[in-house]
Structure 1
């Protein structure tokens, strides 16, 4: 493939000689005038300045240096495109690798946060308020696989493109009553038994995400083990072929453990993408995406072996892609990602509440990058705001002046009276590097209505402080920051009520105190 050939001095030497001879002959010969004038818009000038340097031509034929520069640019731009468009796949692949590293390397092995998730888990914007349990299906290895779900769960199945497959539990076809889901491999043609919620998959890998809400009628010390017991005692995952004698579901408690499940920012992203492509069917991605990957050396059934030139380009492209993802995440330019149209500080994960990342049938590229770089769990239920049900949230990314939040300084966020949360509200802090919970002396970097120590102002409002040390008298309203690091927050509203939905109630801005 021409774009993958090393463009070296040796490779272009014959072209250079021919180009030099031609330009010399041009200089020695009188130039005849063409009888038909061609507008400049359809020709190439002898030289034109561009962002990648001067592009030189002899009568429209590029010089050797121009050929090299153009191919370098094409390979770089295609690699950046592949990186950004593959962030969803890289993210779900990181979940699979990270869960396997904890021991969850088969469908019947489930990671569970028995003591809730704390900041030890490097997982995109996980919260500290609900019980998580996650697993992975390997349909290539196991064939049709059963997820026997307990009552009272909320969950999702997402494929290896991080695309939505089906909701589990309250938002799913079992309506929270529990039931058996049968997940079928890509192109499955075998018999399908009755008695299951049948879910065809386009990919061999399937991420299983489950969340158990804590019973708010119980003290937290009782609600947490009760939620864990419900999941552990009733959840079963196994290959359909073992239905007569399924393996016991194994639960791995990952609370407080160093679990890393976020996507890479460097050259290794392309290596992991190539590995992922080998486990999935050719139909996994469309021809345009496959062609773009093939242009940089990533193809199913072929080794990934870039030469020194191409590896340098891919390393550069990963750095550019990482920079682009972070610019899009912290300074989004799509207005659909702004929670409030008059504030750049508050950001919503799903632009315009759309989990397909499309508009008029076309992908919205920036919103898709923003979501998958910083968040996980793709389901229409995650973006559907229904009064009194589910949850909704917004991220505070900047201060009231539009500046990046500085961990060495003191900030205040005012929560107006009567937060419109039927169940509860919570503010959780995140690390801008990992988009995971900020690791400080506070195991759970969260404050909210479930905290009994929060002080209320005379008008019913509350002030939450963010600083390295608690302001005097504000220990119960304080979240710790780290000098030399930035941070952002997620404000989650569980059971959002109408004032939140119609924005007649909204939080203040994060204001610099000192």
Structure 2
């Protein structure tokens, strides 16, 4: 590395300028990686609004399909999700009916606030959650003693909910989601209607793909920072942003030099995050020593990526490069704890999965689930459900015949054309495009964790 030249103890002008040319891009790349979850959150909010949703008033309801572009969304359960604006509402109530709901609230910085439904405080019983906006530091309002009270550091939050379609009854799951209510506490006696927008047949994009490798990334990030109160936890990194010209109350107006630096940092930062996601060197990513399956979430202790004494920035990068929202319930490695996620991106020989080849995945039966299981295929470039002529990206035990009677295993196939012995258990892939899969188990049993049950690796068939 080039050294700074000093004369009489002071940096020489040309050498100091060269030092800034090295340090500014370095700062920008680190800022990009740290704030990527924020821009991803803004993309979710932007995408739901583009689909017709209005904060506090309506939200899309969808069973994700390939025409719904969203980081590792799945077709296993219907989703209901949208923005809540606490500046507009003041203290806001989320009222959940009893039933198999699973959800959470994250703030504008994509930080977990509270779990809802089955993983939440009240489990399947339903109940009311009260969101308090910034500035509500005292006691909760009178009359809310039975509410679960949650304080947000940001005005804007996201509520994301799923309903488990037990027995394959999607209509019942949709009705359950449609019965969730959102209303200002001040209007509790006469709450306004909340509209559910059926988005099943309509495209929707909730990703930052259009922004993540260019200057627009920083414009979006500036808009969020400018709209929200300062958060003490983020002060050091917000200071880093300020050095790059991104600061609340200050226009984002980079000169030509800074535009080049920020654009280059967006490309480099995006690439480095994808390396964390798909080429990690972490030994703790491997689920079993004799398989190539990996854990998607590397911090099972919590939903905040904290470890003893520090923030696990690599685990955080890896998660948000390929997924959205986080909570303790999503990462627990315990029997019956929500859902379990494994990542498959290589075949049995350690080679990345290629859409031009055919693979077999052998799954021992029975799968150790108390609810159901699925395998979903994603395009490596979009981190969204694969788009192929077949129009299907998932095989799901709730809806597809995946467990033949009397068999001790089931074979699933992935490739450009269905094999003769595919039996309909096939997902079409696209030549020239890499892909990866998530194996999900809902209500995992102990065998899913102790190694006494494990799926095979993807085996090349051609």
TM-score band w.r.t. shorter chain: over 0.9
Aligned to 2:193: 248
Measured after TM superposition, the shift of residue 391 of structure 1 is 1.6
Aligned: 1:273 with 2:224: no
Change (3 A) 1:192 1:444: farther
Q: Would the aligned equivalents of 1:455 and 1:476 in 2 still touch at CA under 8 Å?
A: no
Q: 1:87 aligns with which of 36, 44, 53?
A: 36
Measured after TM superposition, the shift of residue 260 of structure 1 is 1.1
**Counterpart-to-counterpart distance in 1, 2:437 and 2:70:** 15
Change (3 A) 1:244 1:451: closer
Change (3 A) 1:393 1:242: same
Q: Would the aligned equivalents of 2:403 and 2:409 in 1 still touch at CA under 8 Å?
A: no
Q: What is the TM-score with the length of structure 2 in the denominator?
A: 0.93
Q: How big is each residue's C-alpha offset from its partner over 1:179-228, in whole Å with a ceiling of 9 and x where there is no partner?
A: 22111001215861324221111111111011111122xxx3xx111111
Aligned to 1:35: none
What does residue range 214-225 of structure 1 map to in structure 2 within 5 Å? 214-216=165-167, 220=168, 223-225=169-171
Change (3 A) 1:457 1:77: farther
Q: 1:176 aligns with which of 114, 124, 144?
A: 124
Give the secondary-structure state (helix, strand or coil) at the position aligned to 1:353.
coil
Aligned to 2:295: 348
Aligned to 2:66: 119
Change (3 A) 1:137 1:461: same
Change (3 A) 1:478 1:378: same
**Counterpart-to-counterpart distance in 2, 1:191 and 1:359:** 31
Aligned to 1:211: 162
What does residue range 393-412 of structure 1 map to in structure 2 within 5 Å? 393-412=341-360
Q: Would the aligned equivalents of 2:299 and 2:315 in 1 still touch at CA under 8 Å?
A: no
Aligned to 1:107: 56
Q: Would the aligned equivalents of 1:119 and 1:436 in 2 still touch at CA under 8 Å?
A: yes
Deviating more after overlay: 156-165 vs 334-343: 334-343
Give the secondary-structure state (helix, strand or coil) at the position aligned to 1:351.
coil
Measured after TM superposition, the shift of residue 377 of structure 1 is 2.7
Structure 1 unaligned segments of length 5 or more: list them.
Answer: 1-49
Aligned: 1:228 with 2:192: no
Aligned to 1:333: 281
Q: Would the aligned equivalents of 1:423 and 1:494 in 2 still touch at CA under 8 Å?
A: yes
Q: Would the aligned equivalents of 1:454 and 1:476 in 2 still touch at CA under 8 Å?
A: no
Aligned to 1:450: 398
Structure 2 unaligned segments of length 5 or more: list them.
Answer: none
Measured after TM superposition, the shift of residue 236 of structure 1 is 1.2
Q: What is the TM-score with the length of structure 1 in the denominator?
A: 0.84
Let me know the Cα RMSD of the aligned residues: 2.1
Q: 1:260 aligns with which of 205, 209, 213?
A: 205
Measured after TM superposition, the shift of residue 159 of structure 1 is 1.0
- Structure 1 stretches of 4+ with a deviation exceeding 6 A read none
**Counterpart-to-counterpart distance in 1, 2:24 and 2:112:** 31
Aligned to 1:132: 79
Q: Would the aligned equivalents of 2:102 and 2:162 in 1 still touch at CA under 8 Å?
A: yes
**Counterpart-to-counterpart distance in 1, 2:256 and 2:279:** 34
When Rg is computed on C-alpha atoms for both structures, the one with the higher figure is 1
Q: How big is each residue's C-alpha offset from its partner over 1:67-104, in whole Å with a ceiling of 9 and x where there is no partner?
A: 23211111101110111000121111111111111121
Aligned residues between the structures: 454
